Amino acid sequence: MAPASFHPISNTVCVMDAAGNLGLSLVERLLQRGYTVHAAVQNHNCESQLNGLARGNKKLKIFYADPFDYKSIIDALRSCSGLFYTFEPPEDQPTYDVP
């Protein structure tokens, strides 16, 4: 029999590439549902898209995470019980493959 209620370790989740189309929409939904969201963005230019959500919302924390920098990813994931990985290739580099 399934338990009557589920109590996760925490209601904090991380959204990688939170400033992308999918990521931004996901962050909005998670905040509406009461989650604390660690929004990871790839560069400082992306933060402006999240600033509107961050104003007055203590449940949104913005992190700068480079997909090739292990430490920055670990910092964004600290204390999270879930991860949503929504990376889209940057516009100036449509693929991460080296020619």
The percentage of the chain sitting over the pLDDT mark of 90, rounded to a whole number, equals 46
Q: Is residue 54 helix, strand or coil?
A: helix
26 found inside a domain: yes
Structure tokens at 45: 């230019």
- The answer to whether residue 85 sits within a structural domain is no
Among residues 92, 36, 52, 89, which one has the least CA distance to residue 67? Answer: 89
> Which of these, 5, 12, 33, 28, lies nearest to 82 by C-alpha position?
12
16 found inside a domain: yes
CA distances from 28 to 33, 49, 60, 76 (A): 9, 11, 10, 18
- Confidence (pLDDT) at 96: 58
Task: Note down the domain range covering 16.
Answer: 9-39
Q: How many domains does the chain have?
A: 1
pLDDT of residue 5 exceeding 50: no
Is the predicted pLDDT of residue 4 greater than 50, yes or no?
no
Residue 93 CB: number of other CB atoms within 10 A? 8
31 is a domain residue = yes
Residue 30 falls inside a structural domain = yes
Does some domain include residue 14? yes
- In this predicted model, what pLDDT tens digit does every residue of 26-71 receive, in sequence order? 999 999 999 999 999 987 676 677 877 777 789 999 999 887 899 9
Q: Is residue 79 part of a domain?
A: no
**Span 58-85, average pLDDT:** 92
